[in-house]
Amino acid sequence: MAKGLFITFEGGDGCGKTTQINLLDEYLRNKGFKTLLTREPGSKGLGIKLREILLNYDGEVSPVAESFLFLADRAQHVDCIIKPALEEGVIVLCDRHTDSTVAYQGYGRGLDLEQIHRLNKIATSGLKPDLTIVLDVDVETSQKRVGAEKDRMESAGIEFFERVRNGFLEIAKQEPERVKVVDSTQPIEEIHKQILELVGR
Ligand code: TYD
């Protein structure tokens, strides 16, 4: 049994995850907890190479191939980084994880959800986050936050991001115990406060 705590942050591009995960990390460290701040795709090693392809490759990428690349990154991440940290009692804070594949490749690209759930299970060997925070923001606001310089995924278009947003909200409806939605149009400090309440619980 893992001794640590596994918390994931999810949401569309430009939802403010990075700001909030950093604030939570700082808070927990100040309280004396050992944390590991990590991300998908591409935390380190092989993951960095996969991230490079996933975000910057400019040729055609089939949705299934795209899913397998995210899943390959996840399997490596879970086995080599997340599980060892949890076994040492560390609080792992992960910027994106399984729900991103469900929202982006499932709801966004239209791949079969059941199949993605099965593949996620294989990639994680069944490990599940103790808590997942979805930062929810309307697509118009998030697109403004992303700005004009977009990577391969960010260039997908408004309708795609509407489906992704809806996907995250659906996941939260289906797993209300694990997945909590926070309104990310609020001021940074207010969002942080609500996240601390959820983590405290
Ligand atoms: P990143 O630069 O990390 O974006 P963000 O700061 O918004 O997290 O890029 C990750 C991109 O990859 C992002 O557009 C979401 C996408 N993604 C998927 O499509 N499927 C996945 O399984 C994961 C983990 C990410």
Average pLDDT, the chain: 95
Ligand 1 atom at minimum distance from 13 CA: 7
**Please, what sign has the CA dihedral across residues 140, 141, 146, 148?**
positive
Lowest mean pLDDT among 43-47, 68-72, 107-111: 43-47
Residue 1 has pLDDT above 80, yes or no: no
3-state SS of the chain is CCCCEEEEEECCCCCCHHHHHHHHHHHHHHCCCCEEEEECCCCCCHHHHHHHHHHHCCCCCCHHHHHHHHHHHHHHHHHHHHHHHHHCCCEEEEECCHHHHHHHHHHHCCCCHHHHHHHHHHHHCCCCCCEEEEEECCHHHHHHHHCCCCCCHHHCCHHHHHHHHHHHHHHHHHCCCCEEEEECCCCHHHHHHHHHHHHHC
Atom from ligand 1 closest to the CA of residue 73? 24
**Side chain identity at residue 19, one-letter code:** T
Per-residue confidence (pLDDT) for residue 31, from 0 to 100: 96
Average pLDDT for residues 72-99, to the nearest whole number? 98
Residue whose token pair is 């959820």: 198
Question: Are 88 and 3 within 8 A, CB to CB?
Answer: yes
* 101 in contact with ligand 1, CB cutoff 6 A: yes
Measured CA to CA, the distance from residue 132 to residue 185 in angstroms comes to 18
Cα 193 to averaged position of ligand 1 atoms, centre (Å): 25
Per-residue confidence band for 150, with pLDDT thresholds at 50, 70 and 90? confident
d(CA 191, CA 194): 5
Q: Give the model's pLDDT for residue 2.
A: 57
Q: Counting atoms of ligand 1 from 1, which one is nearest the CA of 42? A: 3
Stretch 74-89: mean pLDDT, rounded? 97
Cβ atoms of 171 and 103 within 8 Å: the answer is yes
- Split at pLDDT 50, 70, 90, the class of 85 is very high
The 10s digit of each residue's pLDDT in 26-35 is 999 999 999 9
Nearest C-alpha neighbor of 123 from the set 179, 79, 161: 79
Which residues contact residue 183 at a Cβ distance below 8 angstroms, ignoring those fewer than 6 apart?
136, 137, 191
Identify the residue with better confidence: 150 or 187: 187
> Among residues 2, 26, 11, which one has the least CA distance to residue 145?
11
Q: Is 72 in the pocket of ligand 1 (CB under 6 A)?
A: no
